[in-house]
């Protein structure tokens, strides 16, 4: 059973629109959640993390966490073609010696 699930996409949004990326997790012990962006052929880079219920904003990015429903989302406002990438969601369960569990990623395409 997968612990972190994401829709593989591709999710296609027009330039300037809001992209909504979703992630669900099965382990209720998950404490923190990380969103990584990965361009084709490159390594993952952190966009933001969240550990409290609610919203966390950083520039054009907003992470949302709902622990009761066990989902995490990433909103990208004013999407740009440079946002086209695969977005990986990862969860961390306390007491697991700092191991992250990654989802398979959602591919986002921002069209002109």
49-108: contacts with another protein (CB under 8 A): 49, 88, 92, 94-95, 97-100, 102-105
Choice from 32, 67, 71, 75 touching another protein (CB under 8 A): 32
What minimum distance in Å lies between the beta carbon of 50 and another protein?
12
Closest by CA to 37, choosing from 110, 105, 98, 109, is 105
Residues that bind another protein (CB under 8 A): 4, 8, 31-32, 34, 42-46, 49, 88, 92, 94-95, 97-100, 102-105
């Amino acid at each position: 059973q997968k612990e972190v699930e994401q829709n593989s996409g591709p999710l296609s949004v027009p330039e300037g629109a809001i992209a909504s990326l979703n992630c669900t997790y099965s382990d209720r012990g998950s404490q923190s959640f990380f969103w990584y962006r990965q361009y084709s052929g490159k390594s993952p880079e952190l966009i933001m993390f969240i550990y409290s219920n609610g919203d966390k904003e950083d520039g054009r990015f907003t992470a949302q966490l709902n622990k009761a429903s066990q989902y995490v989302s990433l909103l990208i406002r004013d999407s740009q073609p440079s946002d086209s990438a695969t977005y990986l969601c990862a969860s961390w369960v306390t007491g697991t010696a700092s191991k992250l569990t990654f989802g398979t990623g959602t591919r986002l395409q921002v069209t002109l």
